[in-house]
Structure 1
Amino acid sequence: MLRKKRDKKRDKERERAFYENGSRLHEKLIASCNGRPIPIRSYSCEELQRATNNFDRSRIFHTDESYEWYNGSFEGRMISIKKYLKHRFDEIFTDIAVSAKMSTHNNVLKLIGCCLETEIPISVYESAANGSLEDRVKVTSHDGAQQHEREPLSWQSRLKIAREIAHAISYLHTAFSRPIVHRLIQPGNVFLDQHGVAKLTDFSFSISIPEGETHVEDDVLCGTVGFICPHYFATNYITEKVDVYSFGSFLLQLLTGQEKLELFGITDYSSDDDFENDRKRITIDEVEDPAFHVEEEGSAVWQQFVNPAIHVGEEGSVVWQQLQAGLRLAFICIKKDPEIRPDMVDVTKELRKIERFIL
């Protein structure tokens, strides 16, 4: 009898959660998709528990302060399951809605469905068999020896990933009547599938620019130290160039194996939680100086930006010239003046040329 009461109470809670979450998601999908919501498969709690062996911690392949990613298997298919940890419903439903909208793009992690029976919804995606780029891109050194948790990325893989993610961001900016700005472009939000294809994820803080407008304002500052656009920092104005700046920082890290702040010797900076209290320092005005000196002093200076563990060949080689062109593009993307930065369509074209060595 007691068990039946518990089961009845559980079923009522799930029914309530399903109704409330479903209503919120439906509203978000309608707003995001111009009144034509995209159908999304519904999963039960039991199905996702079976898929993850009751959310076995050993199946986690990536974590963030707001969510955990699990490897799972359902109906003979490998899947990735995103379990949100905080009650940030607007962000969660934005993530699901924009993911659904973008799932047709080959370089966006495809949303398969979600579970709405839990108090906090759970999302289901295609498999990201090779995990997060964050675990592969940065080359670290301990006691003088290079350490890699996983096999380091080859030079050509780095160029391919850069071009694939640039293409996904370009699509986000241009494919819809209202351009969408991602606002969280960084290695932790790029996954790799079983074939090494790069997949953009996490649209939690994505925002649309109204039709006919050049920007949108948002009092909520979103971003990560080293990737956030200084102009957005100062004004709260959001344009596509916010993503261009973040992509420039992303490209620098991808090509060099080091974070931008480390590249320029900036080690005394605040955490993401201290943005509002320390804006002046985090805007990093010095960021343009290295670009200027690289342009002025020639190829000998380029070498200082690249971790020695990433072998890019001898000066004058094809790979060396690809590196020079890639870093030059990254520096243009992180110019302080948004008007000087290229748009992502042009960035994608330039990366395609660099990858094919059409310089």
Structure 2
Amino acid sequence: MKLFQGCLPILILFGLVLTSVLVHAQDDQSGFISIDCGIVERSTYTDNVTKINYVSDADFIDSGEIHNILSIYNSFDVDTQITTLRSFPQNTRNCYTLKPTQGKGNRYLIRARFMYGDYDFKGQLPEFDVYLGPDYWDTIRFNSSSKPTNREIIHVLSSDYIHVCLVNTGRGTPFISAIELRLLAGDMYKESTEFGSLYLFSRVNFGTAFTTVRYEADKYDRLWSPLLWPNSTYLYTLDKVYTSLSANDPPEEVMSSAITPEYPNASININWSPHNSTDKFFMYMHFADIEILKRNQLREFNIYLNGNYWIGPFSPFNHSTVTTYSTEPETVAPTYTLTINKTKNSTLPPIINALELYTLKQFPQKQTDDQDAAVLWSIKSTYKLNTKNWQGDPCTPPEFVWEGIGCNYNDTELPRIVSLNLSSRGLNGGIDPGVANLTMIHTLDLSNNNLTGTVPNFLSELNFLKVLVLKGNDFVGPIPAGLQAKVDKGSLSLSFDDESTSDPASSCDKNTCKNKKGNKIIVPVTASVAFLFLILISFIAVWMIKKQNEHGLDIRKKQYTYSEVQSITDNFSVVLGRGGFGTVYHGIIGDTQVAVKMLSGSSLQGDKEFQAEIYLLLDIHHKNLISLVGYCNDESHKGIIYEFMANGNLASHLSENSSFLNWEERLQIVCDAAHGLEYMHHGCKPPIVHRDIKGTNILLNESFQAKLADFGLSKAFPTEGGTHISTAVAGTPGYLDPEYYTSNRLTEKSDVYSFGVLLLVVITGHSAITKNENDIIHISRLVNLKLAEGDINNIVDPKLQGNFDINSAWKAVELAMACVAHTPSIRPTMNGVVMELNDCLVAERARRENKAKKLTGLMSLNLESAYDPTPI
């Protein structure tokens, strides 16, 4: 504990000077941000009581609905700011973003205010969480519709941005009435905040039953609540009470009142119980003797906390403030009793004027690098992006990372933006110059927008940039020499107009780079040349097929008779596996191995699924989708002939007695699978949903390249309109999207859920569903329970024996949990999944090569299908 005892003569000497300074300071709200939530956009007003200037919240958030509390709750003593509010029936998380002028490193009082007032006419008090940036602040609960509640914290900013986020926990619609930010003096609460942030438990003005004291009396707008303590005598003075040079001191209006025991020999006893059993308290006690003592009188006391000596003896100054406070957190206890006893020499009972109690609150998560965050806010403003989840911090917490954003998380550094996908977002104008400040970015996709002008040279100055996708825009002029040089060296993959400049001759000319949409001159001979070119290509294709057949490689997508299939499989002598469709046999056509899947009579899949898979495989081609060789469609015998996959399916390699897959191999396999699924979602017209993503449907060739298989349940979306299709539920228990299961609404996010379960299975080595005597536990629940322990080694498959990059493992787990989010809208797209998994793979490969564990500049992966899902 520490005692502030101002010297009375000095205080009197400087009294007039300090008073003059404070008078001018009262009008200074330069360190204030005062937001009235729910008032009309761009409106402002000055509060009649406090003289604080309030503004609308519309410039700080772009979601929510505005409401008023019911008139029956709007009495004369209700603050104007809490008569309106903004509610958030949409989105799981909604965030206000504030950027105070003074920036990071400063100490602020941050206050959020809430009053229900039955604004929604439901009469049901909601409960929801409030976050400060990426970290949990508190849960908001209400005792009454007519009683407001505040949450206040003293916090040192580590970022230029402050995010106040409301999170729906399924117990009512979140809302907020006001947000108030107050810059504190540099030395206020300094020693306490070195331990963390200070969560306000109570701030009491003893000895008065009048209204709360705040600004203008307190220039920092702290709220001092009036309290008449039982068994106490109320003291008050009209004389001036001086404050010390410490900014911690309460205002004069607070120090002008006090309490003392009703009986002269009694003690002052103040009791409280913590909200949580682990709460650590800081105390600030303020004293000023506001009685005029006679020569033979003495007021002297000791202070005890839970019976333990705390400080003393000391005497408060006459009409001058003395503050004593905790210099470290007090000992944790189930209850607290603060006792103030007069000493043997004291002729007067003890006194206390005001008390502040704070609990220590830690906010451990780091916010995104300010420069990176500023670029994202600039992009959002410049292009007027209306993206639901572009709220709060771009990278943290990981489960709410912005759509299209890839981040690098490092325990010793701030999260950095390493990939940005703004494809098909309707961007207009030039490329935002702020992109030049994304100094760690390795992947940038701006394809399929309406961007114009020249390709800026600053892109060539991004040292870690490996993939740049600019196709589908209206750029003109030459490619910057710096970019072209990187392309020529092979350090940059540059795509433009559906082509990749990794081969300069196949893409933009070095002198001009006009998009096809920008070419307005159409010469008739162009069509003739194009027609002749197509004929030439057709002849070449026919010739190549004939040459292939001449060499005995009769691998054609043709219909085979049942007798031919018998010959191919040596009369079905070698079984590769069995599934719901039927049995898979090994076969040989010419010198090439194949796999033949024959439909059994008892199969759950029938002719409809058989036909669906044949037609789908005839139309789509990608290096990570199984290739069709042929099919058999005799009346009583139906089969599909695929390319042979020497290493079977992924599930067999994750079983207990399987061959071992290391962390890099697991990541590469799920990357491959993600590429294939991404092509189905984003590269096919119309998009296709697989509907049965699981380990047994991911096959591995001789080099362990993964390919998706079993498309009998796949569904194509209509070509025009619609975000989902209604269809009977199909899939595998444990992998089935709960939202699809309950609503029959099939979307691409249904596949994302299944892929998330698959990713958890690959990470943990557990099955999707674990059964025991008392319960059936889904893998997402199991992982969620282990996440609370904070140890990645308790989550990752123990067979790996800790031999993996920790950052990539955490990132993979966070990605998987995002994929299995209950709300489909907050799950990532497969584009996003591919980018995140590529980052994981880069990190793991860097570890294995004993290089720096960074996700940028380590190696050049082929990310083409992440941004241009073209058949390969």
Interval of TM-score (by shorter of Structure 1 and Structure 2)? 0.7 to 0.9
Q: Which residue of 1 aligns with 2:769?
A: 261
Q: Which residue of 1 aligns with 2:181?
A: none
Cα separation, 1, equivalents of 2:810 and 2:653: 22
Give the deviation of 1:120 after TM superposition. 3.4
| Number of equivalent positions | 286
The answer (yes or no) to whether the contact 1:258–1:306 under 8 Å persists in 2 is no
SS at match of 2:723: coil
Cα separation, 1, equivalents of 2:816 and 2:589: 40
Q: By percentage of residues, which structure has more helix?
A: 1
Worse-superposed segment, 176-185 or 59-68: 59-68
Q: Which residue of 1 aligns with 2:724?
A: 215
Q: Which residue of 2 aligns with 1:321?
A: 807
Q: Which residue of 1 aligns with 2:712?
A: 204
1:352 has 2:838 as partner: yes
Cα separation, 1, equivalents of 2:614 and 2:663: 33
The answer (yes or no) to whether the contact 1:113–1:123 under 8 Å persists in 2 is yes
1:74 has 2:583 as partner: no
Cα separation, 2, equivalents of 1:42 and 1:245: 35
Worse-superposed segment, 93-102 or 229-238: 93-102
Q: Which residue of 1 aligns with 2:634?
A: 117
Cα separation, 2, equivalents of 1:176 and 1:333: 21
Alignment counterpart, residue 291 of structure 1, candidates 779, 784, 790: 784
Q: Which residue of 2 aligns with 1:43?
A: 560
Cα separation, 1, equivalents of 2:773 and 2:629: 41
Cα separation, 1, equivalents of 2:772 and 2:809: 20
Map 1:65-214 → 2, pairs under 5 A: 65-85=580-600, 86=603, 88-102=606-620, 104-138=621-655, 140=656, 147-148=657-658, 151-210=659-718, 211-214=720-723
**Aligned CA-pair RMSD:** 2.3
Cα separation, 2, equivalents of 1:98 and 1:251: 25
The answer (yes or no) to whether the contact 1:190–1:199 under 8 Å persists in 2 is yes
Seq. identity, %: 30
Worse-superposed segment, 66-75 or 341-350: 66-75
Alignment counterpart, residue 304 of structure 1, candidates 787, 794, 798: 794
Cα separation, 2, equivalents of 1:267 and 1:40: 51
Distance 1:265 1:229, change over 3 A: farther
Give the deviation of 1:267 after TM superposition. 7.4
SS at match of 1:234: helix
Give the deviation of 1:177 after TM superposition. 2.5
SS at match of 2:815: helix
Cα separation, 1, equivalents of 2:741 and 2:834: 25
Give the deviation of 1:188 after TM superposition. 0.6
Cα separation, 1, equivalents of 2:622 and 2:592: 20
Cα separation, 1, equivalents of 2:736 and 2:774: 16
Alignment counterpart, residue 60 of structure 1, candidates 558, 572, 575: 575
SS at match of 1:212: coil
Cα separation, 2, equivalents of 1:306 and 1:290: 10
Letter of the 2:558 counterpart: R
Q: 1:227-280, CA deviations, whole angstroms, 9 ceiling, x for partnerless residues?
A: 000100110000000000000000011122112333x979744xxxxxxxxxxx
SS at match of 1:232: helix
Alignment counterpart, residue 336 of structure 1, candidates 805, 813, 822: 822
Q: 1:10-58, CA deviations, whole angstroms, 9 ceiling, x for partnerless residues?
A: xxxxxxxxxxxxxxxxxxxxxxxxxxxxx931222222112211011xx
SS at match of 1:80: strand
Letter of the 2:622 counterpart: H
The answer (yes or no) to whether the contact 2:752–2:829 under 8 Å persists in 1 is yes
Cα separation, 2, equivalents of 1:71 and 1:214: 40
Distance 1:118 1:233, change over 3 A: same
Q: Unpaired runs of 5+ in structure 1?
A: 1-38, 141-146, 270-281
Letter of the 1:175 counterpart: G
SS at match of 1:352: helix
Letter of the 1:261 counterpart: I
- Could you list the structure 1 runs, at least 4 aligned residues long, displaced by more than 3 angstroms after superposition: 264-269, 286-293
Distance 1:179 1:114, change over 3 A: same
TM-score w.r.t. length of structure 1: 0.74
Q: 1:260-317, CA deviations, whole angstroms, 9 ceiling, x for partnerless residues?
A: 333x979744xxxxxxxxxxxx9x6x946843762x553x2x222233212332xxxx
The answer (yes or no) to whether the contact 1:184–1:223 under 8 Å persists in 2 is yes
SS at match of 2:769: helix
Distance 1:268 1:50, change over 3 A: farther
Cα separation, 2, equivalents of 1:112 and 1:130: 18
SS at match of 1:254: helix
1:224 has 2:732 as partner: yes
SS at match of 2:594: strand
Q: By percentage of residues, which structure has more strand?
A: 2
SS at match of 1:356: helix
Q: Which residue of 2 aligns with 1:27?
A: none
Cα separation, 2, equivalents of 1:267 and 1:179: 41
SS at match of 2:799: coil
Cα separation, 1, equivalents of 2:628 and 2:774: 37
Cα separation, 2, equivalents of 1:341 and 1:266: 32
Q: Which residue of 1 aligns with 2:67?
A: none
The answer (yes or no) to whether the contact 2:631–2:641 under 8 Å persists in 1 is yes
Q: Unpaired runs of 5+ in structure 2?
A: 1-555, 844-853, 856-872
Cα separation, 2, equivalents of 1:62 and 1:152: 20
SS at match of 2:586: strand
Cα separation, 1, equivalents of 2:643 and 2:782: 42
Worse-superposed segment, 120-129 or 158-167: 120-129
Give the deviation of 1:99 after TM superposition. 2.0
The answer (yes or no) to whether the contact 2:763–2:797 under 8 Å persists in 1 is no
SS at match of 1:309: helix
SS at match of 2:637: coil
